[in-house]
Amino acid sequence: MQITRTQSVLAHVTLIVSILVIAFPVFFALITSTHSFQESFSFPPKFHVGSHLLENYRTAWERVNLGRLLFNSTLISVAVSAGKILLSLLAAFAFTYFGDFRGKTTFFILILITHMLPLPIRIVPTFELVEDFGWMNTYYALTIPFFASATGTLLFRQFFLTVPNDLADAARMDGAGPMKFLWKILVPLSKTNMLALFMIEFIYMWNQYLWPLIVTHTDDMRVVQIGLKMLLAGEEQAAEWNVIMAGTILAMLPPLIILLILQGSFVKGFAMRQEK
């Protein structure tokens, strides 16, 4: 399709405006995190880099034990993402390749239904279950309830359906059993989907607030989102936005790093599929 000059200009203007709108809060957070408490409240707001950068970040880090919280969040986000990928791979594999087992459709619908129920609706029964298991204030409580993933199951199932049946037949002729077919053929082919799911689920887990709040009660088991909230309500005085923004920027870093690392292979994965 030929793009006219007007269209090109229009597209660029739209994109630039969108980027400004999206990036401004981040930029403002960054700027605020370099100013002193007083400066952060000045009006008109300051748009230059201040001199309190290290001080603010150190305060945020120390006040709520941010190092530990970042570690916790990273740990549970990685564990949940990996767990979801593993479980949904296996579930999708069963749904796609194991003929017509009894209640296949029922099971599938049940899984889809869980997709339609957001966490807050399930929170009370799940809480009771976790409490009965004696998992309160442990990593189990923070991870295992999230392992099942309708999104992931659906994603992998849809992908498996596009894998030609001949490939499964060829693997059978080549003497590969079902599990070997899964690990040696399907998993490598699903790499792009796995990375996408990992990214989505990592960020989803990273942003969890309510569930970690109710199943943990000691400071060393808290996650980073709770830490931010603690920064906000930590003192009797007015919110120290400079410190909070410093904490926010720190909390943004791990997902950002993951995104940057995975982005390369993610794009490559899509390119590979184009090639086919």
Partner 1 sequence: MAEIKLDQVNKRFKKNWVVRDFTLTVADKEFVVLVGPSGCGKSTTLRMIAGLEEVTSGEISIGGRVVNHVPPKDRDIAMVFQSYALYPHMNVYKNMAFGLMNRGVPRDEIDRRVKQAAEILGISDLLQRRPAQLSGGQRQRVAMGRAIVRDPQAFLFDEPLSNLDAKLRVQMRAELAKLHERLQSTIVYVTHDQIEAMTLADRIVVMKDGKIMQVGPPLEVYERPANRFVAGFIGSPSMNFLDVRLVEEAGDLWVDGESFRLKVPRHRAPAFRGHVNRPVIFGIRPEDVKERPGDALPEGVEPLRAEVDVREPIGSEVIITATVGSHAFTARISPNVAVRVHDPIDLAVNMNKMHLFDPESEQALNGL
Q: Which spans of this chain sit near partner 1 (rule: CB under 8 A)?
A: 164, 166-167, 169-176, 180, 184-185, 188-189, 272, 275-276
Q: How far is CA 27 from CA 22, 40, 228, 229, 248, in A?
A: 9, 14, 18, 21, 12
DSSP letter at 45 equals P
User: What's the closest the beta carbon of residue 266 comes to partner 1, in angstroms?
Assistant: 16
Which is nearer to partner 1, 102 or 276 (by Cβ)?
Answer: 276
User: What's the closest the beta carbon of residue 271 comes to partner 1, in angstroms?
Assistant: 11
Q: Angle between the 53-63 and 224-232 helix axes, to the nearest 10 degrees?
A: 110
Which is nearer to partner 1, 66 or 171 (by Cβ)?
Answer: 171
* 3-state SS, residue 1: coil
Q: How far apart are CA 54 and CA 35, in angstroms?
A: 10
Residue 19, CA atoms < 13 Å, CB-side half-sphere: 6
User: What's the closest the beta carbon of residue 163 comes to partner 1, in angstroms?
Assistant: 9
DSSP letter at 33 equals T
Which is nearer to partner 1, 136 or 189 (by Cβ)?
Answer: 189
Which is nearer to partner 1, 21 or 173 (by Cβ)?
Answer: 173
Which is nearer to partner 1, 179 or 253 (by Cβ)?
Answer: 179
User: What's the closest the beta carbon of residue 172 comes to partner 1, in angstroms?
Assistant: 5
User: What's the closest the beta carbon of residue 95 comes to partner 1, in angstroms?
Assistant: 20
Q: Angle between the 241-275 and 224-232 helix axes, to the nearest 10 degrees?
A: 150
Do residues 251 and 224 make contact, with C-beta atoms less than 8 angstroms apart? yes
Do residues 231 and 56 make contact, with C-beta atoms less than 8 angstroms apart? no
